[in-house]
Amino acid sequence: MTRQVPPIGSALDTHALQLLDSAHYLHPFTDHAALAREGARVIVRGDGIYIWDADGQQIIDGMSGLWCVNAGYGRTRIVQAAAEQMQTLPFYNSFFQSTNVPAVQLAARLAALAPPGFQHVFFTSSGSEANDTNVRMVRRYWELLGQPQRRVIISRHNAYHGSTLAGASLGGMAGMHAQGGLPLPDIHHIGEPNLWKQAPGTDPEAFGLQAARWLEQALADIGPERVAAFIGEPVQGAGGVVIPPASYWPEIQRICDAHGILLIADEVICGFGRLGHWFGSERFGIRPDLITFAKGVTSGYVPLGGVLVGERVARVLAAGGEFAHGFTYSGHPVACAAALENLRILEEEDLVRRVREDTGPYLAARFASLAGHPLVGHVDSCGFVAGLNLVRPDGSAFDPALGVGLLCRAQMFRNGMVMRAVGERMIIAPPLIMQPRQIDEMVARIRYCLNETQQVLAALGYV
């Protein structure tokens, strides 16, 4: 944070980049007509919890990039570990009875960090590929057990499990399903455990049980003998930081156990300290059979994902001959070397425990103080994810068509703060290195931006 900002060009350079960007770069999840009109934000540098744009503006990155830069920006140690591995061996595959040193070390490290019962890891380069791997793996598992009719995977509306065909199908995003004929067959969705959306004002624990029993209902409708697995994020991230009541996951676990179906915890966001534990499953008392990971495993410095495979599944797969699945970059040595160094940082700086016992509770208290703002309704948090719902000063909801969340997000960015908008819900997932004084700084910026948003909404006649 004390390093000098290098000269990164004038406003003209920014504009030239924006024109080139618009002419050639197809962005993920982007309306390109709007992008061409407004120009992309060009981010050029990061350090700690901050990023800088091409015009030199310093911005608090309240979203850790995309939920991934857990160890913060500017970690020279990760850069060096990756560079040294590139010198030594930039690539070799893990097919054909080969392996490489960082992949072996990382697999062993992850097995040690995982909840009890996990001894094996399958590597991919992303969370989406890891969830595709889950689909293939659980179907293979049931085939090997002589139950090939067990193909159905149950997920939840508004879940996010990636953007490949299987990932987008497992996910419950209506906008994604509306394009290209998704979901794929044999993927079924139940309601999400979202109290403020589904049953505002009701008792949270009673609602948690009710939401879990939608799984039991689905099993009855589909026929439990056809169901292979249930998949869920411990806390739904992209769906808007949906924190389930404490009663929810134990009941889901009970139902999975009662019917013998596999439980997949998608920990791509919740893993590696985000909820104050190495895995979010520990926070919610989930005993999964498979764990999807990506994002925070490398703090995003290089792409890496994978599946932690519990012994119940690993034993059957191992006895079943070749599993015809894998990627060129499974166990990529540079990605694994970066992950190992990132995990060392999380451990040496005690970041997981700090989020659980120290900075997480501090963030929760400071963020909750925003509930007093006239535009803020429901506020909640869990570890280092948090969300607030924008409402009218009289507490009533905004018409979604007004795009109030996006207006608020624009005010945030203009004033040096990244918050994500999911409808009218504004969410954060800051780097785990954020210190209490930086939490104060962030909450002050958010409060300032909420005031600005209120003025803009008043000028538009929305409040």
Ligand X SMILES: *Cc1c(COP(=O)(O)O)cnc(C)c1O
Residues in touch with ligand X (CB under 6 A):
67, 126-128, 131, 160-162, 233, 237-238, 266, 268-269, 294-295, 305
| DSSP-assigned beta bridge partners for residue 379 | 388
Smaller CB separation from ligand X, 335 or 404: 335
Smaller CB separation from ligand X, 268 or 449: 268
Tokens standing for residue 103: 């992949």
Smaller CB separation from ligand X, 46 or 127: 127
Smaller CB separation from ligand X, 332 or 445: 332
Nearest distance from residue 67's CB to ligand X, in Å? Answer: 6
- ∠ CA(289), CA(293), CA(294), 5° rounding? 165
Nearest CA to 414 among 378, 370, 452? 452
Nearest distance from residue 375's CB to ligand X, in Å? Answer: 27
Query: What is the number of the residue whose Cβ is closest to ligand X?
Result: 127
Smaller CB separation from ligand X, 67 or 327: 67
Nearest distance from residue 254's CB to ligand X, in Å? Answer: 23
Q: Distance between CA atoms of 300 and 148, rounded to whole angstroms?
A: 37
Nearest distance from residue 165's CB to ligand X, in Å? Answer: 12
Nearest distance from residue 66's CB to ligand X, in Å? Answer: 7
Distance linking the first and last C-alpha atoms of the chain: 39
Phi–psi pair at 104, nearest 5 degrees? -65, -50
Q: Distance between CA atoms of 9 and 54, rounded to whole angstroms?
A: 7
Give the strands of the sheet with 50-53, arranged side by side. 43-47, 50-53, 58-60
Nearest distance from residue 434's CB to ligand X, in Å? Answer: 20
Q: Which residues of 4-24 are buried (b: 16+ CB within 10 A; e: fewer)?
A: eeeeeeeeeebeebbeebbee
Smaller CB separation from ligand X, 235 or 313: 235
Q: Which residues of 395-429 are buried (b: 16+ CB within 10 A; e: fewer)?
A: eeebeeeebbbebbbbbbbebbbbbbbbbbbbbbb
